[in-house]
Amino acid sequence: MKKILMKGNDAVAEAAIQAGCDLYFGYPITPQTEISEYLSLRMPEEGKVFFQAESEIASIYMVYGAAAAGKRVMTSSSGPGISLKQEGISYLASAELPAVIVNMSRGGPGLGNIQPSQSDYFQAVKGGGHGDYKVIVLGPSTVQELVDLTYLAFYLADKYRNPVIILGDGMLGQMMEPVVFNKPDFPPLPAKDWAITGKDGRERQYILCFDLDPRGLEQFNNKIFKKYQKIEQEEIRYEVFGEDKPEMLLVGYGTVARILKSVVREAKDLGIRLALLRPITLYPFPSAIIQKLAQQAGRVFDVEMNMGQMVEDVKLAVNGAVPVHFYGRSGGMIPSVEDTLKRIRDILGK
């Protein structure tokens, strides 16, 4: 299979086309505008729809409509734009509609800046919008994984009739790496017999996002939470990297996990045994494996490009069994291998 050198944003866009994305709606924002630029050229070539809306809000509701019509659809943005889409994401989850949302996140809060950040973790995995709902969140770490998780995102969205967020960052969106486009053979999906298609010979279709009867709404919420339970049982993905019998378990996702792999290697040269647990799915979160490895290692060190967000889920997983340390850089700053290693050595006294 041919390797192509590609920018992360372009790679997501190409993978979306190959995954069968029929429509894309976007609005410019740095550092992800290349996704729009790429799709504006490629979607018409494929006979598919690209449209730049007047705002992020308009684009998420165009996604809502296209998803309700049974098509594969995607939007992308970064931090501030994703905040604007949150209302629509809550409605998509409530209407049980599949859609893929890419966030090449940047420094926040507010307008923040255009440097890479992981400070949208809470927003992505804890709901972001209002109400009881969950969104599947995938955390790629390389340009290749951006491609692979884009295929997966469209599949999972359809499988569970739920929005899926690909949570990258400005670094992954802007970096170039060699990639292979190798679309996996996913198991067949059920027909979208719920879609608003306007065809004759059947009862009219209803797509709703409300139930004014509290008993009915509770029933509905119980139903979607059963679905989330299934997602938590079947869809957890993670990578374990590094040494057996580590003195400390590192936890980090996305861009940070790349840095932590270097930390593991450098530590080995110093005679320090480390292992990295890299969550690939951020929701569902790989709590059980973290709990198991944390207890084996006796100590956890969570590193993020934010003020400490995923560390809360790590602590819930560990449940007080062993100490959990945290190191974070925020505002678009990136933790260095040296600083991270120094902190690890301080904790271990080595």
Partner 1 sequence: MSPFRNQIEIAWCPGCGNFNLLTDLSEALSELGLKPSQVVLVSGIGQAAKAPHYIQANVFNGLHGRSIPVAFGIQAVNPELTVIAESGDGCMYGEGGNHLIHAIRRNPNITVIVHDNQVYGLTKGQASPTSETDFVSKTQPLGTVSESFHPIALAISQDVSFVARGFTGDKEGLKSIFKQAIQWKGFSLVDVLQPCVTFNRINTFGWYRDRVYPLPEEYDPEDQVSAFKKSLEWGDKIPLGVIYRHVKSVFSDRIFEKLGRKDFLNPTSNYQTVFEDEKPGFE
- Chain residues binding partner 1 by CB under 8 A are 26-30, 33, 36-37, 40-41, 44, 50, 52, 54-56, 80, 110-111
Q: What span, in angstroms and rounded, lies between the C-alpha atoms of 175 and 14?
A: 15
Give just the sign of the alpha carbon dihedral 337, 339, 340, 344.
Answer: positive
Q: Is 44 exposed, middle or buried (0-12, 13-18, 19+ CB in 10 A)?
A: exposed
Shortest Cβ 296–partner 1 spacing (Å): 46
Question: Is the Cβ of residue 37 or residue 235 nearer to partner 1 in the bound state?
Answer: 37
Shortest Cβ 177–partner 1 spacing (Å): 23
Q: Is 138 strand, coil or helix?
A: strand
Question: Is the Cβ of residue 8 or residue 26 nearer to partner 1 in the bound state?
Answer: 26
Question: Is the Cβ of residue 14 or residue 56 nearer to partner 1 in the bound state?
Answer: 56
What SS3 string covers 191-227?
A: CCCCCCCCCCCCCCCCCCCCCCCHHHHHHHHHHHHHH
Question: Is the Cβ of residue 56 or residue 120 nearer to partner 1 in the bound state?
Answer: 56
Question: Is the Cβ of residue 44 or residue 323 nearer to partner 1 in the bound state?
Answer: 44
Shortest Cβ 111–partner 1 spacing (Å): 6
Question: Is the Cβ of residue 61 or residue 301 nearer to partner 1 in the bound state?
Answer: 61
Shortest Cβ 300–partner 1 spacing (Å): 37
Question: Is the Cβ of residue 131 or residue 298 nearer to partner 1 in the bound state?
Answer: 131
Shortest Cβ 251–partner 1 spacing (Å): 33
Kindly state the tokens that stand for 174.
């802007």
How many residues in total does the chain contain? 350
Shortest Cβ 212–partner 1 spacing (Å): 11
Please name which of 96, 98, 21 lies closest in space to residue 67, comparing C-alpha atoms. 98
Shortest Cβ 333–partner 1 spacing (Å): 22
Distance of CA 189 to the CA centre of its chain: 22
Please name which of 115, 118, 147, 190 lies closest in space to residue 14, comparing C-alpha atoms. 147
Give every CB contact of residue 112 below 8 A, 6+ residues apart in sequence. 79, 80, 106, 119, 331, 332
